[in-house]
Amino acid sequence: MSTDVRALLFAPVLGGGGAEARVVRLANELPKQGVETLLAVARGGGAYEERLRTGASPVTCQNLTRSSTLSLPLSFPKLVATIDRHEPDVVAALQGHVGAVLVAAARRARRRPRVVLGVPVNFSQRLAATGGWLERRLVDAERWAYRAADHVIAISKGVAEDLAQALPSVREKLSIVYNGVFDDTLTALAAQPLPLERPRERLIVACGRLVPQKDYPTLLRALSLVKTRPSPVLWILGEGPERDAIVRLAHELRIRERVVLLGFQKNPFPFMACADVFVTSSRYEGFSNAMVEAMACGTRVVATDCPSGPAEILDWGKFGALVPVGDAPALARAVDDVLRSEHGDESRARLRERAAMFSSAASARGYARIFRTVGGWQKHQSQGE
């Protein structure tokens, strides 16, 4: 396929979470939409790099620096050099904290590309974050980057409206493109064997970083209240600073033997596919890739009705249960309801059909359209048209 716009995607590292997986999916799909796609990472060696496809329009991964702590600031000179060497029409970052580095690098380039930034979570939550000096400076940098970008893409309607209220000047250059989660590799990955034996009891699976945002304490309290017998087992996929606190709470609630912390799983889909129910208890989300992934595996979902993604994904309760944020009894009741109900082939097919609406191809089409609109203008300007 011929290309009419060149885009460079920039990410910190290709591994560790849903945002990084989304970068890989987008990089793989954009060439199919006629976008010549380059990919620069601040730190190489991420677990998802092996998912990058090669072919007629290969994705080029530029490993700019191996430093973990200082990867983003240290990547700046080589990022500028990469932009100068490849002269993309558009540069894009899908994670908020990366945007400031990319905007600054684009401004230093000899031929300045247009900048498109993604908004992965409600920005009001970032503004409300109570952290130290460094975290406040990072939020200030994100605010500056969104204002300075040529275009901004929110991953859900809720995230878009939240950003427009927090930064009114961004509204006129704001679009919505849902995350691309479902693709032709997911089904094959889900069919791979589990690396451990599935318990005989009913199985609940949760997936996400072990951080306060995910509110695992509410999930554990809900598990202690679930009435289904034999008592179900909870598998949690993910790593993070809250691990020890989760273990302590499981002991306090006397459910430690039913809570299994499995750490980060490069391929979470077999775990999702074998679950009786997938649960997310987040306080806030931007979209929740993991929910769509679970639905693509044919697994039923229970989620907190947090801002902003879950309700949109579940069509306000038509494709899964929504419960109030932080309400452990309500979460327990919803889990019990799911575990008591039938779940046959027709139900699984319905969930997969819904998940397919959030496909990587559909997301790439949205990004390609915006890249052409924004980058095409840049190309014409550089040619004096």
Mean pLDDT check: name the lowest of 15-19, 127-131, 274-278, 375-379.
375-379
Angle at Cα 200 formed by Cα 199 and Cα 201, nearest 5°?
A: 90
91, 10 Cβ separation under 8 angstroms:
yes
The predicted structure's pLDDT at residue 158? 94
User: Does 5-180+359-382 match 186-358 in CATH topology?
Assistant: yes
pLDDT at 383: 46
Give the mean pLDDT of 138-158. 95
> Are the CB atoms for 13 and 40 separated by under 8 Å?
no
Which pLDDT belongs to residue 198?
97
Q: pLDDT band at 379, cuts 50/70/90?
A: low
Q: Give tens-digit pLDDT for 70-79.
A: 788 888 999 9
Confidence of residue 311 (pLDDT cuts 50, 70, 90): very high
- Give which of 363, 296, 365, 18 is closest to 156, Cα–Cα: 363
Whole-angstrom Cα distance, residue 113 to residue 375?
8
Give percent above pLDDT 70 in the chain: 92
Predicted confidence (pLDDT) at residue 385 exceeds the cutoff of 80: no
Reply yes or no on whether the pLDDT at 313 is more than 80: yes
- Sequence-ordered list of residues with C-beta below 8 angstroms from that of 292, at least 6 positions apart, any chain: 179, 181, 182, 313, 355, 358
Among 191, 120, 182, smallest CA distance to 354 is for 182
Per-residue pLDDT at 378 exceeds 90: no
CATH number of 5-180+359-382: 3.40.50.2000
User: What pLDDT, on a 0 to 100 scale, did the predictor assign at position 62?
Assistant: 62
Q: What angle do CA 249, 251, 254 make, to 5 degrees?
A: 110
The dihedral built from the CA positions of residue 317, 319, 325 and 331, taken in this order, carries a sign that is positive
Instruction: Tell me the pLDDT tens digit for each residue of 359-371.
Output: 999 999 999 999 9
pLDDT for res 36 = 93
d(Cα 247, Cα 260) in Å, to the nearest integer? Answer: 9
Instruction: Judge whether residue 57 has pLDDT over 50.
Output: no
Q: What is the pLDDT of residues 158-185, one digit of tens each?
A: 999 999 999 999 999 999 999 988 887 8
Tens digit of each residue's pLDDT (9 = 90 or more) over 71-125 = 888 889 999 999 999 999 999 999 877 999 999 999 999 999 999 999 998 999 8
Sequence ranges of the domains in the chain: 5-180+359-382, 186-358
Find the mean pLDDT for residues 23-48: 88
pLDDT band at 61 (very low <50, low <70, confident <90, very high): low
Alpha-carbon distance of 17 to 48, in angstroms, equals 9
Segment 189-212 shows an average pLDDT of 96
What CATH number labels 186-358?
Answer: 3.40.50.2000
